[in-house]
Amino acid sequence: MKNISFKIDGRNCTAEQGQNLIEAAKQNGIFIPTLCHFKHLNPLGSCRVCTVKNNGRTIAGCTLNVDEGMDIEVNTPELLDARKAILEMMFVEGNHFCPSCEKSGDCQMQNLGYETGIRYTRFPHLFVDRIVDARPERIVVNQNRCIKCKRCIEEVRTTDGNRVFNFTNRGNKTLVSIDYEQEAKLSDTQAEHAMHICPTGSILVKGKSFGKPFGNREFDYSNKEKNISFNEIKKHKTTHKKKRIATTSLAGCFGCHMSMLDVDLGILDLIEVVEFNKSPITDIKNFTEHCDIGLIEGGCCNTHNIEVLREFRKNCDILVSVGECAIWGGLPAIRNTVPLEECLKEAYLNSMTSEENEIIIPNHEDIPKILNKVYSNHEVVKIDYHIPGCPPNANHIWNVVKHILFEEEYSIAYPEFKYD
Amino acid sequence: MKRSRLLTRLWEFQNKFGFISDNAISEIAQKLRVSKIEIEGVISFYHFFHRQPTGKYIIYLNNSIISEHKGFELVKTAFEKETGCTFGKYCDNTLFSLFETSCIGLSDQEPAALINFHPFTNLNPEKVKSIVQKLKIGVSLETLQNNPTSKIQYIPPGNKTIFFRDYFLGNSIKKILKHSPEELLGTLFKTNLEGHGGAFFSTGLKWKYCKESNSTKKYIICNADEGEPGTFKDKSLLNNVPELVIEGMIIASYITGASKGIIYLRAEYTYLFKKIKNAIQKFKNKGYLGNEILGMKDFKFNIKIQLGAGAYVCGAETALIESLEGKRGEPRIRKYFPTEYGYFGNSTVVNNVETFAKAARIIELGTDFFSNIGTQKSKGTKLISISGDVAKPGIYEIEWGTTIKELLHLSQATAPYYLQISGPSGECINEMEFDRKICKEDLICGGSIMVFNRYRSILQIIENFMKFFNEESCGSCTPCRAGNQILYEKIKKIKKGICTSKDLEEIKEWGKIVSLTSRCGLGQTSTKTFSMAIDKFKDYFNLKVKTCTDNCSIEFDMEEAVYDYDSIIKTTQF
């Protein structure tokens, strides 16, 4: 094959003529993120994460073969943002609850979320009710996590060469369906292969993923420096008044507060420069003074949450959503795909522990009303910063707070990202 | 059985049993040696195929915006009341089944419905009542159905008409005797013929690519899958002069050397099937189709008709080819032109109905005729289907370069305010732009103009379009499938009255991302109208949203958020 030269973002690159752009870019040290692209498969061009520009025209990079003189754009601000947006679309279209997913840490979509730096999605979550199909013999297909990349459709076949998966329906109702008859013919190895090529946790093999944690967490990069140095904080100690912090937990589990306390003895250093106002940590119930920063854990599931959040907005200069629940609803939002009436009946009338013929759903003017769904905080008030994680670790939280309070430049790097 | 027979085979089951059963799927899967899910995938892609039993009469009511404005809701309710069925549900009723469907090419006679693919137009509750009652006592559909012909409201004066002038079978075919394929291509290039389906790609170039391809088999495909809402000009051609279209295909075959032709007819136009078939027969009788056409030894060409099964996206040429191959109609990735790799990998020309008809006339009338009509870049005339708030909806054959104003005058538009050019995937224009000319130099038009007066809700129009794209997207790429859903959420938000000007900015930004990254023309154009409307109808949208600067507070609809809870407590508790 002939060698040719082409350009990526103005850089001269060489490759074999006709080579797939993704591979060619890799050889030249340029990473183009992909999800549906998979080794020997014919280019699918379905996920669009690898969108690039070829001589000014946008195209899925995986469907492009390099040729002499091509001028490819990969990392322009416009394309970086478009790529991030497509991933965000995947997150809002499905129901991706990383903390409860077997594939968390080994999930290619999650990895790309970290890679592109998604702290929160610009789009509203759609919360469409999707099924978890456990009818197949060997595998479970969780439609909540499927991104319709088509990998399994193209790659998974029985020994006779028949497809096991295929798209059914069309438009926004498109889903990957399973041929139960063919699935039953899969060998153990073939079934596991299906699980491994799925870029998310949509395809799981029964008995393989629940018993022990799934695979290796190959996409977790942990920060070497375990603790932030609080000596640095002390340099901010001035004769001026201490900075004031308020915290609260709305529809959350207090896990983020636990995580804040994980800073251990560091808290002694911290209180040299900050003081806590309204917070479960101080048990101050009402704001006594205006605060510099408010940390919100949890989203809004009832009217009380909304009131507290609005009060925080009024009393704090800067509001930070801490953790997944605050950012987009998190685990409590699992109920968002179910009508409220069903939720309440399940909880109070039809549950295993409710009395027979129970008819009372607790209600009183003093009891907050349950909202029709769990709202993320930024749907209710303006939120200035988002710290992802379930929970984010102590260092991460305090790093962000420190940098906001003392106006230092800080961008979250890959190792800090955690959705679970 | 060949895979390419799949759609036809599925139609046989659908027509015979009213649905496609598990057994039918097993049988087909076995014959094609594929898994059942693959067949299921094809069936569920096309909305005229059913997997559950339907009644004797399947009623498809058009839910396009024109239909909505002309009384869709009333007609829908009337159908439900008279038949006792619900739209979109499979019920026990053995006589009727009701479904909504996207535009059926009868926008000049809305509300319209298809009952077992027989056309019923200008519906109203009384008419529905009478139709249903008559069907119940066994009156035949043939006697009840309406004439789906669209009125040709205007042809250019001074013998300039191209499509609706006197037609004599074989007039253009005879011309090719005197010319080589190269010369004919030259004629096409001289008149600047471009695809009249809406993409306006050079027809001469396309045919030249196919001619030069060394593919052993070549195909000429006529795209009669006119699905763009508000468009019915191809229907009028196929209804009035199907022969002209066939002649165009024969010329294409002569030029490219293709020996097989397929007309992909949308199922909504099933009532034209016989007419086209008869037209094909006429050509066969005259020796213009078959072997040794015009006595030329190597000139061989046959045409068959393939019926679609309800999928707008199949109007995209590569999706259409996939559909012809018996697959889900998902557009292919942009890697090859169909002239390089088309139907089953062979070199294939796909052109719109109007393009073939025009090509035939170009060969018949010659370049000189065309050079005097139209503008510099757009030669000749264009068929436009006009619908909406006009006194004279129908087909207008206009000279390229005609202004919107003239057209509004001709069609007797009443208080025109918002115009949708080329359907939902086209663009919208406002009053300031009525002086624009319809031609390549200014405002290009694929064949439809929907006129809306100032009393129509623009948001309702956009909502209808976005709903259409959500349903008709093929679903295989993320931005189109998810992005259009997300933008639909914004419409809901505007309707709730909790949007700020920031939301409008977001709609434009997000729309840009969808169009930038989508895989085919559907996603690339689906968000265009929404974004454009925000800019072109600022006053309208400013009334719908709260204007805000950098630091605007977020609106939250508390009433809506607690509505469910309040009503549950009110109805179930003491």
E strands in B315-410: 347-352, 381-388, 394-399
Nearest CA in chain A to B479: A86
Q: Are residues B199 and B88 in the same domain?
A: no
B34/B3 Cα distance (integer angstroms): 10
Q: Are residues B121 and B191 in the same domain?
A: no
Whether the predicted pLDDT of A200 surpasses 90: yes
Q: Can you give the pLDDT at residue B394?
A: 95
Q: Are residues B359 and B229 in the same domain?
A: yes
Q: Is residue A191 part of a domain?
A: yes
Beta carbons within 10 angstroms of residue B355's beta carbon: 26
Q: How far is B28 from chain A (nearest CA, A)?
A: 14
CATH number at residue B213: 3.40.50.11540
Residue among A8, A7, A9, A93 at smallest CA distance from A47: A93
Q: Are residues A247 and A136 in the same domain?
A: no
Q: Can you give the pLDDT at residue A41?
A: 66
Q: How far is A182 from chain B (nearest CA, A)?
A: 7
- For chain B, the maximum distance between any two Cα atoms, rounded to a whole number of angstroms, is 91
| Yes or no, beta carbons of A361 and B311 under 8 Å apart | no
Low-confidence ranges of chain B (pLDDT < 70): 549-552, 574
Q: Are residues B93 and B132 in the same domain?
A: yes
CATH number at residue A17: 3.10.20.740
Q: Are residues A246 and A314 in the same domain?
A: yes
Residues of B in contact with A43 (CB under 8 A): 333, 335
Q: Are residues B27 and B87 in the same domain?
A: no
| Yes or no, beta carbons of A168 and B519 under 8 Å apart | no
Residue among A327, A321, A324, A318 at smallest CA distance from A404: A318
A54-72 residue pLDDT tens: 998 999 999 999 999 999 9
CATH number at residue A242: 3.40.50.700
User: For A203-209, what is the mean pLDDT?
Assistant: 85
Residue among A200, A193, A205, A87 at smallest CA distance from A145: A200
Q: Is residue A106 part of a domain?
A: yes
Q: Is residue B185 part of a domain?
A: yes
Q: Answer with the one of A26, A45, A75 that is the final residue of a domain.
A: A75
Pairing mode, if any, of strands B218-224 and B347-352?
parallel
Q: Are residues A147 and A250 in the same domain?
A: no
Distances (CA, A) of B59 to A308, B85, B114, B265: 53, 11, 6, 20
In this complex, the residue of A164, A165, A380 whose CB is nearest that of residue B554 is A380
For residue A276, how far is the Cα from the chain centroid?
30
In this complex, the residue of B37, B328, B506 whose CB is nearest that of residue A163 is B37
Residues of B in contact with A168 (CB under 8 A): 37, 40-41, 44-45
Q: Is residue A213 part of a domain?
A: no
Whether pTM > 0.90 for this model: the answer is yes
Q: Answer with the one of A75, A105, A124 that is the final residue of a domain.
A: A75
B191-216 residue pLDDT tens: 889 998 888 999 999 999 999 999 99
Q: Answer with the one of B97, B124, B144 that is the final residue of a domain.
A: B144
Q: Are residues A68 and A141 in the same domain?
A: no
| Yes or no, beta carbons of A177 and B34 under 8 Å apart | no
Q: Is residue B319 part of a domain?
A: yes
Backbone φ and ψ of A264, nearest 5°: 55, -130
Beta carbons within 10 angstroms of residue B539's beta carbon: 7
Mean pLDDT over the full length of chain A = 88
| Yes or no, beta carbons of B40 and A86 under 8 Å apart | no
Q: Is residue A285 part of a domain?
A: yes
Q: Are residues B316 and B268 in the same domain?
A: yes
Whether the predicted pLDDT of A371 surpasses 70: yes
Q: Are residues A57 and A198 in the same domain?
A: no
The answer to whether the Cα torsion of B185, B191, B195, B199 is positive or negative is positive
A159-177 residue pLDDT tens: 999 999 999 999 999 999 9
Structure tokens at B361: 């006339």
Helix (H) or strand (E) holding B416: strand B416-421
Q: Is residue B556 part of a domain?
A: no
| Yes or no, beta carbons of A372 and B561 under 8 Å apart | yes
If contacts are CB pairs under 8 Å, which of residues 48-107 in chain A contact chain B?
48-49, 51, 58-60, 63, 78, 81-82, 85-86, 89-90, 92-93
Assign A373 to helix, strand or coil: strand
CATH number at residue B491: 1.20.1440.230
Q: How far is B552 from chain A (nearest CA, A)?
A: 8
Q: Does the CB of A207 have a partner CB in chain B at under 8 Å?
A: no
Q: Are residues A46 and A110 in the same domain?
A: no
Q: Are residues B285 and B428 in the same domain?
A: no
Q: Are residues A251 and A302 in the same domain?
A: yes
Q: Can you give the pLDDT at residue B566?
A: 92
Q: Are residues B118 and B91 in the same domain?
A: yes
Nearest CA in chain B to A182: B35
In this complex, the residue of A45, A58, A166 whose CB is nearest that of residue B41 is A166
User: For A392-399, what is the mean pLDDT?
Assistant: 86
B342/B353 Cα distance (integer angstroms): 18
Cα–Cα–Cα angle for B381, B445, B72, rounded to 5 degrees? 115
| Yes or no, beta carbons of A150 and B476 under 8 Å apart | yes
Q: Are residues A368 and A320 in the same domain?
A: yes
Q: Are residues B354 and B416 in the same domain?
A: no
Pairing mode, if any, of strands B118-120 and B113-115?
antiparallel
Q: Are residues A266 and A395 in the same domain?
A: yes
Q: Is residue A373 part of a domain?
A: yes
In this complex, the residue of A122, A167, A171 whose CB is nearest that of residue B41 is A167
A208-224 residue pLDDT tens: 775 555 556 777 776 65
Residue among A160, A139, A7, A162 at smallest CA distance from A72: A7
Q: Answer with the one of B313, B348, B371 that is the final residue of a domain.
A: B371
Assign B281 to helix, strand or coil: helix
A223-277 residue pLDDT tens: 655 555 555 655 655 556 788 999 999 999 999 999 998 888 878 888 888 899 9
Structure tokens at B424: 């939902």
Q: Answer with the one of A152, A171, A205 that is the final residue of a domain.
A: A205
* Rg, Å, chain B Cα set: 25
User: What dihedral do alpha carbons A206, B476, A157, A100 form, nearest 10°?
Assistant: -10
Q: Are residues A406 and A289 in the same domain?
A: yes
Strand partners, B180: none
Q: Is residue B570 part of a domain?
A: no
Q: Is residue A324 part of a domain?
A: yes
A213/B58 Cα distance (integer angstroms): 52
Q: Are residues B111 and B188 in the same domain?
A: no
Q: Are residues B158 and B297 in the same domain?
A: yes
Q: Is residue A246 part of a domain?
A: yes
Number of domains composing chain B: 5
A67/A83 Cα distance (integer angstroms): 24
Which residue matches tokens 């072997």?
B291
Which residue matches tokens 């005879």?
B174
B19/B22 Cα distance (integer angstroms): 10
Of chain A, the percentage scoring pLDDT greater than 70 comes to: 93
Q: Answer with the one of B346, B371, B396 that is the final residue of a domain.
A: B371
Q: Is residue B555 part of a domain?
A: no
| Yes or no, beta carbons of B485 and A172 under 8 Å apart | yes
CATH number at residue B435: 3.10.20.600
Q: Are residues B169 and B278 in the same domain?
A: yes
The boundaries of the domain holding residue A297 are 230-416
Assign A113 to helix, strand or coil: helix
Q: Can you give the pLDDT at residue A393?
A: 86
Cβ contacts below 8 Å, chain A against chain B, sum to 194
Structure tokens at A205: 């093999």
Q: Is residue B217 part of a domain?
A: yes
Strand partners, B263: B222, B305
The boundaries of the domain holding residue B77 are 57-144
Backbone φ and ψ of B418, nearest 5°: -125, 125
Q: Are residues A98 and A61 in the same domain?
A: no
Q: Are residues A180 and A262 in the same domain?
A: no
Q: Is residue A66 part of a domain?
A: yes
